[in-house]
Chain A
Amino acid sequence: MFIVEVKVGLKKGVSDPEGANTHKSLELLGFKEVASVKYLKVYRMEISAPNEAVARERVEDMCRKLLINPVVHTHEIVFL
């Protein structure tokens, strides 16, 4: 069993209203040291596969079929 995280972020230049609004709110709360905030989604899943390579291939397929839209998203697969 593998525990895998898929981190989905936005490509450079894509508007990030969630990140921008979070940043603004933190500033209003007095956290002036925050230079930027980016909004990411993380999916953590448990996967049964014979080895890490197969698990990675399956997760890449999940990204293609559902988890990301390649027009705006980047993704990173991390094995924990």
Chain B
Amino acid sequence: MKVDEIKVCILRMEGTNCEQETYDAFKRLGASPEFVHLKQLEGRDTLDGERRSLQDFHILMFPGGFSAGDYIRAGAIFAARLKASVAGDLVRFIDEGKAIGGFCNGFQLMVELGILPAFDCTMAAQPQAVLHANDSGRFECRPTVLKHVNEGKCVWTSGSKKGELRYIPCAHAEGKFMLPHESQEKEDALYHRLFDEDRVVFQFSDPSGDTSAQYPFNPNGSRFNIAGITNDLGTVFGMMPHPERVFFRNTHPDWYRRRIGSEEGDGRAIFRSVLDYVVRKF
């Protein structure tokens, strides 16, 4: 498949933002993105020709921002409506090896939806994790340093080397990644499983690459500084920071002072990697 044949569904609903940057990222790399409203998948309030099916696309993107006011919990309403209307299509989409990505609110809704971390399943009946309120109790909106720690499973970061540092901004109030705590032993085992199965993709770090660095380098208090994970196939990927906001170098906060790197921003490789994957796969 050629890049321009790759159809990307940029899914949105009331309150979504960051969808334009996400659309632009894929468009600038030569793919064919399309904004799709949730109602177009649900078949609700749509005119002839507006109805869409997930099967029309190769990549599904959940943009960041907010959804439905983030009432109840961030991403919960978006996830519940998706699950009620297209759960079967979503499972088929994932099982076919197609790619799903979510940043910030997108990651929150993927966790609520049960497609991340998705232990022993494609989509869990109930959430297996949560993105809980930041330990600081505040909305944290600023640059963060991410260390790429994936060994190669995640198709969204296959173009990055393990150990690379990326400067990508965060903007969230609920980003503390947590797994169930039935007992300390069981919780520890789940975290170890994520690492052992190469499902942790990004960890927050300090500029030296220390992934045990605490607040403010870890903006939300996630255990092990987890910032992004993937499913067992490596195709479903969510992260709290916003790579779509650093597609170009000049949207980095200190690009002029530091004069670092090329024209490419630290987020671009994520979009390029998943497009490369789809070209190879389909």
Contact, CB under 8 Å: A71 / B176: no
Docked Cα-Cα span, A20 to B138, in Å, equals: 12
Is there a chain A Cβ closer than 8 Å to B121's Cβ? no
- What B residues does A15 contact at CB under 8 A? 132-133, 135, 176, 221
The tally of residues in B whose CB lies under 8 Å from a CB in A reads: 25
A13 vs B182: C-alpha distance when bound (angstroms) = 11
| Contact pick for B80, options A17, A65, A72, CB 8 Å | A65
Instruction: Tally chain A residues at the interface, Cβ within 8 Å.
Output: 16
The distance from the CB of B69 to the nearest CB of chain A, in whole angstroms, is 14
Residue of B nearest to A62 (CB): B80
Cross-chain contact B137 with A70 (CB below 8 angstroms) = no
How far is B77's CA from A21's CA once the two chains are assembled, in angstroms?
A: 27
B235 to chain A, nearest CB (A): 23
Which of the listed residues B72, B84, B179 has the most CB atoms from chain A within 10 Å of its own CB? Answer: B72
Docked complex Cα distance between A11 and B178 (Å): 12
Interchain residue pairs A-B with the least CB separation, the first 3:
A17-B137, A71-B130, A66-B80
Q: Which residues of B contact A (CB under 8 A)?
A: 72-73, 76-77, 80, 83-84, 112, 126-130, 132-137, 176, 178-181, 221
Sample of 6 more A-B contacts, CB < 8 Å, known A65-B83, A71-B127, A72-B132 = A64-B126, A65-B84, A69-B76, A69-B126, A71-B130, A72-B130
